[in-house]
Every structure is written in C-alpha cells, then in structure tokens.
Structure 1
Amino acid sequence: MTRTDSAAGAERSVGENRTGRTAGAVLSVHRADDPVGLELWTEAWRRTGEGDIFAHPDYVRAVALEGEHPTCAVMSFADGTEIYYPFIVRPISSDAAGNALDEELWDLYTPLVYGGPMGRCASASEIDEFWTAMRAWAQEHRIVSEIIRFTPVRRNRLPYPGTLREQAPHIVVDLGLLSEDDIIARLHKSVRRRYRKARDAGLTIRMVPDESGIDDFVLLHTETMIRAGAHQKFHVDADFLRLIHRAVPGQALYVFACEDGVPQSAEMMVFRDGSSYAYLAGTLTAALSGNSTTYAAVAAMLAARERGSNEHVLAGGVTNTVDDKLLHFKRGFTRDGDRTYYTGEQVFLVEDYERLCAPAGVSQEQTGFFPAYRARSRAEDGHAVPGEQAESASVGEDVLR
C-alpha cells in the first residue's frame, strides 16, 4: 500500500488527510480541521451519506469533545462503489488504573445516535478490502480500538469484521404500506387510550419543518432535561439545531402538541433515505399528566408515514436493560417493535490494548464496557457506556414520571 499526503501540516499522530491504494481501490482519510479535508468529506457525504445527519461532517464536528478529532474514511473503487465511514478520534490519556500515559495513543468512536460504514452497493470483497485498509491506517496512526453504535435498521448496516455485541433492543415502527388507521390500531391499548384522550381534550398538532420552530422546541427540551437531571451533553441550544437544518435542509421536522395554541410537548424528527428517527423530545412539567407526550409521538409517526418512511426509529431505553421504563413506554407505540441493537467492537493494536487494561486487570467481560481500559473513567469523560441508550435521555425522558 502506498500513501501520499493530501494536506500539508496535518498532525500525523491522529491521521492526516492521506490516501492509500490497495488492489485498485483508494482509501482517503479526511480530518475536519483541514479545509481541504473538510471539503472532500462534505462531497463524499453528498455522494454516499444517504442523507444521514449523524454522518454529516457538521454534525460530527459539533458533537466532538475538546481535544477530539472528527474524521472520515472514504474508500473509492474502480466500479464507482464507495464506502463512507465518519468517526471521532479521541486521545487515550490514561490506562485502566488511571495512570497517565507518556505516549500518544488514540481510539475512535461513532457519535450518537447511530454510525458505522455506509455503502449500499458494496460487495463482500469490497467491504473486506475496506477493512483491510482501515486496519492498516489505524495501526499506522496508533489507534488502539473502535466502538460503533449500529442502526437497528438492518438494511442500513454493512457486515462487520469485529465483534458485534447485542445490547438491549431498540424500537422500530414498521410503517410500510400501513394506513393511518392501521398505525393507530397497532398502538397498545393504553397508548391508544392516551392518544384519544388528548385528541378529545382539544389538543392540536402543529408541524414546523424549518428553523422557525427552534425557539419553542428548545424551551420544551431544556425544561425536560433539567427535570430529568440529564448530563449537560444532552442539552441542545438553538445554534446546534440551526446547524442541523442547514446541513440537511428539509430533513428535520418539529411536531408540537398544543393546548390553546401553546406548545405542551414536542418531538423533533430527522429523516434519512427511507427512514425517520425520533431524535429529540420535550414536555412542559405542567403538561405531564395531559397526554401531550403521547399525542406528539403518535403525530410524528403519522408524519413519517406521510413523508414515505418505511420505518420510524424510536431508539431504546436509558439503562440498556430489557425492563427499562422508557423502553417499555416506547414498546407501546407498535406491535413487535423490538429490533436487535448492536455495538461493534474492534481492537487494532492488541498488545497496546492489553497493556492498557493490565494495571487494573480489567476485561470486557468483567466491566461490561468496551474499551475496557476506559471503564474507570466513563462517568468522568462524558462518554456513555457503549450500548447504554444515553441518547434516549434526549428522546423522551419526560415519560419517566
């Protein structure tokens, strides 16, 4: 494999914009802090990103923490096929026992909510070729491991050579050719009752597809996050929401449940090719007993159907357990909605991984956490436990009342 720099002055320690060739294919790795790399990344997203906001360079940059490096690997094949993989490279500052490192080591992760390589037309051999090149790049740049949160929509997952670890399920509402009446009929009895009570009480639905809905939504979401005691990283502000609208114009929608024209509850949806995601939500504390949360969530499902979504993803619970209260609430919105949710785990530098874990004698099996060398600091560095549905803190913790 030959490599040449594509950007002068980039930091080699975390992987500059570089290009490698293997059997006629080209692997390019782009850093967002390089203007040329960012432009190439954005162009690749337009070609292969499938309209996915979670894979958009502006989104990945916005959710990266200080000291981390938003990065994207793109492999182009002679037949025009492309594999696109955005991720965040983060420094490893200490080993499993908290001892500071005197060397530069890194690992990578995919930001919330879902991630992993994309490329629907890629063959098995092309995927293998991508991972061969990706592993070589990671080893060259001292990247120890990776953790991926894969979408529960099976058709949007590529085969993975690492360990697929099954977590608690996520909920997916299959819309297909269902009518509005079909969707309502598939609600669990208690959810259908709450929906009808809200409707009969005179609540109305207002849908806003643009930035004019931001202020009302932030008000509801912020009150919800404060009430839930959610980590600060789950709070969102107007600037972040404007970024989403500008990155994927027309692919975000606010669904407000209103009383006398005043928003009581809201759900923010984002759309990807053929799918929709219940991304963020919020409810006024004073409205918790008024069924507005259910009314907004059902209205969002109906809006997804109108927009042509094949499935509407509700994500999972908070605790990564099958009896999680939020997961139970979400199960009420459809029949047979449980979908397998995987995290992907891969070690690129085995000796370094074992050396980082050794001081505390920890392993994945003991901690339930990957990478195991981060188990001690997971509550301190702002990273959720892989598989723990921390994103659900922003998808409707208001139901935990």
Structure 2
Amino acid sequence: MKNKILLSSILISFFIISFNVQPVNSANKQKINLSKGYNNKNIKSGNLSTDYTIEQALSDINKFQLNTLNIPVKIEIDTLSSSDMIINKSSEEKAITLINQLKGKNKNINIILEPYPWIAQGTKVETEWKPDNISTFFSNWKLNVLKPLIDAIAMPYNVTALNIGSNFVNMECEEKNWCDIIDYVRKYYKGLVTYRTNKWDTASWAPDSITAYKNKLNNKLFSKLDFISIAAYFELTNNSTNTIENLVKSIEDSQISVDGLIRHQNIKQEIKNFYNKWNKPIFFGELGFPKIDKASFHPWNPYENNTINNIEQANCFEAYRREFENESWFLGFSVFSIGEQSSDKRYYPSEESTVVIRNWYSNK
C-alpha cells in the first residue's frame, strides 16, 4: 500500500504540473484540468532526437500514444575535457516553438526538459565527458545551463520535470556537488526534478563491478530527486536473435558471457534496489534498442552490425514491458528515440516495435 500511495502521489504531481503550458502570469492563471484522466497513469514518453522535426514529433505522439515528451536542448561543449559550455540558442528556440504548438493543438502532453550535452558537434558521447576542472564544470552547469533553462523554458512554460543531468559517468560520484545543484534548482523551479543515471554491469566474479554498483546505489543525490531516471541499456544476451521468453529471463539473469564467464546479473532486482534504498519511483529515462541483430547484446551501440532486424528490437521492448509494466514502483519509460526517422536512425521504432509500445499501458 505504501508503494502505491507514493507512486500515485508522484504521478498526480507529474500530470498536474503541465496541463497549462502557456507562460504563466499572476493575472491569468488557468484552472488545472483533471478531466482528461491523466492523473494516476504511468508516464509513457518518447525522447526526441536532437535533430527532431516538430512535424514528426507531433505525429509520433499519436503514433506511439504518448502522454509525455522528453525535449532536449543542445548544450554546446567543445571537447571531452571541457569544463565550459553554452546553450545552443536555435535548439532552445525550437523547444519553445514545439511546446507552444503542443498547446495550440490542445495536446495535454507533459514535458521533460533535458539539457543535452552536444560535445564536439555531437561526435562525442556524454558518458566519456570528463571535465578538466570539476568545480568550474558544476558552476557553469548550474549558472550557464540549468538556471537559464529554468528562466526561459521550465518555469514560464510550466514544464513538468527537469532532468538536471544525463549519463554523467565521470561526474556522478560528486555527491555533494549534485545535492547542492538540486537544492539550487528547487529555489527557482517548482516542477519535478530528476537525474538520469547510466546503465551498469555486475558479475559475482568481478568484485570491482559490485563495488561500483554499491557506490552508485548509495549516492545521496538520488535521495533528493522526485523520481530516479535510468538509461536502461542493459546487456542481456550474446545471441543474434532471441525469443521474448529468453529476453525476459535474461533481465533477471543476464546471459552475457565475458571470457567464458556468464555475468548472471539480476538487472531487475538491482534496479528495484534503488527504490528500496531511496523510496523513489523508477523511470526508464531512455529505453531503446537498435533494430539490428544482437540488439540485446550492446543496446547502447547502434552499429554493432549492419543486419537489420525489426523483430529483435520489438522482442526487446516486449520483454521489458512484461517485466516492468505491472510493478507498483515503476513510474514508466521513455522510448529512445523519436522525432526523426531517416534511414540512419536505427533506434527509431520499427512497425513491430510500434505495436508493442502502443500496447504498453493501453489497459490502464
């Protein structure tokens, strides 16, 4: 019962905050509309690719039957060692235009706003970012990224949730700095606050992996969030193709083998441990699989091979649906990625995956 009360409270807050996405002023406040039935429903979101088109984003809301969009704003960073960064103004303006169009089309879509690290013009990934001056990084991230986004978008447009950081593998351990950042953000932003942590690997025969997981689990930054976001690119099997049943099994007992040793990682339990530890609902801030063979091997690598396999991608989504859809501590998921579907977009859901995504929460 405690689990259900907590989840309901977060969900009600989530869906109440963003019903009015027009700029707010004291003279013209609209009443919150609860007639749409969004409260108490799980979050069903899509991560927009950084090169999304507004037309495709609007279309994908209907295609996948979403109630939420994760909108990125590019944060320009020169190199993987840079501690300085600036907001890409074109990306910021496009986000505002999209939010306004959502309101204009009377779509009650919730918004998660994400400052997206655009490193070396998008050629480098945030998981490898290691600023050369950690104090400068946190100061700049707070003052040059989060505060301006709060002032320009999050507050005036009643953004539902702000993602204060994503997949910062080399900075996440700075517990005190992140806690200070969250306290600072809450002074100026009244919506929900989250942080997206990157996936992890554990194996009993690799004690360092267990230690790293425990350190992540015990990081106090998670205690200060409204909900915990995870980029769920967990490695499940070495197989090129899998049945749904085998993938379901692998989420609780990873079949990945390294030098002949099977990992046997209980991914589901390790995820739930974050809820058990911090009493915060769990949200898959990124859930994506490339539509290729071995989609379950390295879900984070869309170029593992060039053998297109729409079914394997769909089977991965279905396995996660079966494992997490009915868990009381599970807040929801965000599909990675939508808003642009040219041929190089290997994460964009196939027709088979679209059916699975549409079915997720369809009876709730």
TM-score by length of 2: 0.29
TM-score by length of 1: 0.27
Larger Cα Rg: Structure 1 or Structure 2? 1
